[in-house]
Amino acid sequence: MACVTCIELIVKGHTMSDNENLEIKLQKIQLEKERAITKKAKFEAENAKLLLEEKRKEVNTPFWKKIRFIQTISKTFITIIAISSIFILFYTYGIQPTIEYKSLKGLIENMELKRQYETLIEEAKIKAKEADSLRNIAITENRKLQAANIELEYKKNEIAEDYNNLEEEYKRFKNERTKLNESYKELSIKNRISEQERQKFKKLYDTADSSKRNLEEKVSQMTEKKEQAESERDRFAKSIIRPDTAIVKRPSIESLKEAIRKKPLTKLSTQDVDDMLKAKGFFDKISNRLSEGIENQFTTRNLNGNMIVIDNKVGLTWQQSGSSKRLNYAMGLNWIEELNRLHFAGYKDWRLPTLEEAMTLMESIKNRDNLYIDSIFDNRQQMIWSADKADKDAVWYVDFNLGFCEAKMITDEYYVRAVR
C-alpha cells in the first residue's frame, strides 16, 4: 500500500508544490529507514537461527567428534616432528658429514704438518751429530798429522845419522884405498912381489873399488831419502802448527800444586788444552814437546793389599795400576763407583783425574818400558781416561805410549787409573 502511494505521488509529482515534494522526500527517507530496519531484523533473525542450529548440532554431536581440535593439534605436532626429523636427518647425513670431513681433513693436515716438523727436527739433530762427529774426526786427523810429523822428523834424524855413518864409512874405505894405492906403488917400485901376489893385490884393489862404488850408491840413495824426508816434512809442516823452538823450562811445583784444576769441565777445546799445556809446562809430544815436564816425588804404599802411589810434591794419590782391561767412558765411571763401594785402599773418594792431573804423570823421556811415565806405575795402563769432556760425545784421554793427550769418542775404550 505504501508502494502504491509512493507511485501515485511520483505520477502526480509535477503538479505538487515544493512543500509537497519535501514531504515526499521525507516519506521516502522514512520508508528507506523502515526497510533498513526490517532488513537488519531479518538478518539478525537468520543469524540467531544459524547460531541456534549450530548449538543444537553441537549438543547432538557425539563426544568423539568433539576432539577434532585435539586431532588437529596432534596432526600439527606430528607434522612438526616429521619436519624436525627430516631436518635432523638432512643435517646428520648431509651437513654434519661435510663439517666432520672438513674438520677431519684439517686435523689430518695438522698432524701431517706436525709429523713433517718432527721429521725436520730429527734430521736437524742427525745433521748436528754428523757435524760434531766430522769435527771430532777433523781434530783427530789433525793430531794424527802432528804425530806423523813428529815421527817423520825422528825418521829424518835417523836417516841423517845413517847418512853420516855411511859418509864416515865411505871416508874410511877411501883412506884404506889410498893406503892400498900407496902400498901398491911401494911394492911395484921395490919389485918385491910376485905376479901372483900382484894379481891378489889387484883383486883386493878391485874389491875396494867395488865397495867404493857400492858406498857411493848407498850415499846417493840415502841422499835421496833425506831429500824425500825433508820434502815430506815440509808438506806436513804446511798443514800443522809447529811447536815453539824455545825450550820450555820446568815450572815450580809450589805454583802448580794449587794451580792444578781438580774440577772436571764439560767443554774443553783443543786450543784450551794447548794453552794449558804451555802455561803449566806439561810435556806433550805434539803441542809442547820441548817442555821438560814437571818434577814429581813418588812413594808407594800397600794399604789393605792395595798398592797406591803418592805424589808428595803435587799432593795426589794414584792407583799404581788401574783397570785390568779397556773400558768405554760410561763403564769407566761405573768402575770408579765400584772402587769406592769396595773402599779401595781404605778410601771411598776415588775419581777420574782431570786432564791437568793426568798430565802431571807425563814424562818427557821414556822409561824402560818405552812409556812416557815413571816406571813406578804399572805398564799395562798405557792410555787412561780423564774426567774432562771436549763436548757431550768426546772425552780427553792421556796416551803414555805416544806421549800426548787427545779427545776421543765416549764409545772408545781405554784404561782407568783412579786418583784422589
Residue carrying the nine cell digits 788401574 = 322
Lowest mean pLDDT segment, chosen from 34-48, 78-92, 119-133, 375-389: 34-48
What does each C-alpha distance from 138 to 135, 146, 407, 408 come to in angstroms?
5, 12, 11, 12
Instruction: Give domain limits for the chain.
Output: 2-55, 145-237, 253-409
Q: Which helix (H) or strand (E) holds 406?
A: strand 404-409
Q: Is the dihedral of CA 242, 246, 250, 255 positive or negative?
A: negative
Q: What is the mean pLDDT of residues 63-80?
A: 70
Which residue reads 605436532 in cell numbers?
77
Residue-wise pLDDT tens digits, 252-302: 555 666 778 889 999 999 999 999 999 888 999 888 888 888 888 899 999
| Residues pairing with 385 in the sheet | 397
CA distance 160 to 226: 7
CA dist., res. 34 & res. 40, Å (int): 10
| Confidence at 222, pLDDT banded by 50, 70, 90 | confident
Q: How confident is the model at residue 231 (pLDDT cuts 50, 70, 90)?
A: low
Instruction: Identify the pLDDT of residue 244.
Output: 41
User: What pLDDT is attached to residue 165?
Assistant: 80
How far, in Å, CA of 172 to CA of 185, rounded? 20
Burial (0-12, 13-18, 19+ Cβ within 10 Å), 257? middle
pLDDT category at 32 given cuts 50, 70, 90 is confident
For 147-177, give the DSSP string. HHHHHHHHHHHHHHHHHHHHHHHHHHHHHHH
3-state secondary structure of 367: coil
Sign of CA dihedral 177, 181, 183, 187: positive
- Give the whole-angstrom CA distance, residue 78 versus residue 84: 10
pLDDT for position 248: 47
Per-residue confidence (pLDDT) for residue 64, from 0 to 100:
57
Of 7-11, 78-82, 119-123, 370-374, which gets the smallest average pLDDT? 7-11
**Percent of the chain, pLDDT > 70?**
79
- How high is the pLDDT of residue 11? 46
Phi, psi of 291 (to 5 degrees): -75, 150
Q: List C-alpha distances in Å: 323 to 8, 69, 100, 199.
A: 158, 105, 66, 72
Asked whether the beta carbons of 389 and 268 are under 8 A apart, the reply is yes
pLDDT for position 15: 47
pLDDT of residue 338: 93
Tell the burial category of 370 from Cβ atoms under 10 Å away from its Cβ (0-12, 13-18, 19+).
exposed
Weakest-pLDDT range from 115-124, 205-214, 245-254: 245-254
DSSP assignment, residue 119?
A: H
Q: How confident is the model at residue 104 (pLDDT cuts 50, 70, 90)?
A: confident
- Cα–Cα distance between 301 and 305 in angstroms, integer? 9
Q: Which pLDDT does position 414 carry in this prediction?
A: 95
